[in-house]
Amino acid sequence: MNPTVEQQLLSALTELTATVNTIATANPKPNLLPMFARLDGLAAQLPRDTDPTLLHYLHKKSYEKARLFLQGRDAENQLGNCRHV
Q: 3-state DSSP call for residue 11?
A: helix
Q: Is 11 domain-assigned? A: yes
Interval 1-19: pLDDT, tens: 468 999 999 999 999 999 9
Does 78 score more than 80 pLDDT? no
Q: Is 85 domain-assigned? A: no
Kindly state the DSSP code that residue 29 receives in the 8-state scheme.
Answer: P
Interval 15-68: pLDDT, tens: 999 999 999 898 999 999 999 999 999 999 999 999 999 999 999 999 999 999
Q: How many domains in the chain?
A: 1
Q: Is 29 domain-assigned? A: yes
Does 85 score more than 60 pLDDT? no
* Residue-level pLDDT at 84: 57
Neighbouring residues of 57: CB distance < 8 A, sequence distance ≥ 6: 63, 65, 66, 69
CA distances to 9, 26, 57, 73, 76 from 80, rounded to whole Å, are: 21, 30, 10, 16, 12
* Residue-level pLDDT at 3: 80
Q: Is 83 domain-assigned? A: no
Which residue segment(s) compose the domain that 9 sits in? Answer: 5-76
